[in-house]
């Protein structure tokens, strides 16, 4: 009999098992990296046979795609909610940093070294573009720059690849993105260890330089 969410007990069980598989996958990634992800090892941990697990994820790439979608969806919703609550670009930068610190492996899965032999489907790119669309809104047009469809606030989620923002706004967004992820990637990889400074302050300085341009 369907529950109040319209799903049958079998469907709810399937969602539950897929969630458990993804949780085990994250644990495995944290220990050995995504390249070592093994469905057979996860099946053993869950007390399942390999063929039984393949009923939930057909192969390694399908499991990675589910993890990538979840990661992008989490960050896109976090960025959108923060911006809709009145945050400026500086606040967004630190919210993204906090999100990355919550689970560095999740961050590196979508912004780190590409997984050898894995190609993400187009819909994952569409989710990641929602993040850039919010940053376009946060940057806004320069005083002498004409508005674009991105500045009209028409939709809750916007398509990045449809009507691109003007060149100046796009340059500021990509500069922000490169500076933020440059600091974040170095920080999360431990390259600032022993330097005795706050990478958050470095992000603030990078944003100040960007605003001054």
152-196: pLDDT as tens digits: 433 434 444 445 556 778 888 889 999 999 999 999 999 998 888
Are 71 and 121 in a shared domain? yes
Q: Minimum mean pLDDT among 10-14, 29-33, 159-163: which range?
A: 159-163
Q: For position 149, what pLDDT does the model report?
A: 45
More confident: 78 or 210? 78
**Beta-carbon neighbour count of residue 146 at 10 Å?**
8
pLDDT of residue 150: 39
Same domain, 147 and 54: no
pLDDT mean across residues, the chain: 85
Maximum Cα–Cα distance across the chain:
63
Q: At 4, is the pLDDT very low, low, confident or very high (cuts 50, 70, 90)?
A: low
Domain span at residue 187 reads 67-212
pTM of the model: 0.83
User: Which residues, 6+ apart, have CB-to-CB distance to 168 below 8 Å?
Assistant: 141, 142, 145
- Residue 112: give its domain's CATH number: 1.10.357.10
Same domain, 33 and 75: no
Residue 66 and residue 24 in contact, taking contact as beta carbons nearer than 8 Å:
no
Instruction: Look at residue 153 in the predicted model and tell me its pLDDT.
Output: 37
**Is the same domain home to 45 and 130?**
no
């Amino acid at each position: 009999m369907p529950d109040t969410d319209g799903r049958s007990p079998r469907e709810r069980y399937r969602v539950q098992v897929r969630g458990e598989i993804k949780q085990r996958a994250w644990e495995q990634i944290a220990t050995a990296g995504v390249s070592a992800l093994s469905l057979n090892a996860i099946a053993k941990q869950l007390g399942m046979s390999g063929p039984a697990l393949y009923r939930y994820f057909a192969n390694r790439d399908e499991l990675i795609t589910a993890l990538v979608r979840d990661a992008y969806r989490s960050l896109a919703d976090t960025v959108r909610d923060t911006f809709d609550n009145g945050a400026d670009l500086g606040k967004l930068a630190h919210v993204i940093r906090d999100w990355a610190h919550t689970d560095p492996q999740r961050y590196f899965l979508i912004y780190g070294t590409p997984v050898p032999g894995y190609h993400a489907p187009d819909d994952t790119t569409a989710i990641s573009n929602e993040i850039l669309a919010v940053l376009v809104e946060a940057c806004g047009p320069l005083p002498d720059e004409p508005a674009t469809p991105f500045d009209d606030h028409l939709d809750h989620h916007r398509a990045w690849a449809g009507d691109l923002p003007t060149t100046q706004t796009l340059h500021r967004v990509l500069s922000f993105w490169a500076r933020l992820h440059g600091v974040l990637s170095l920080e999360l990889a431990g390259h600032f260890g022993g330097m005795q400074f706050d990478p958050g302050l470095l992000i603030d300085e990078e944003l100040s330089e960007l605003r001054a341009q």
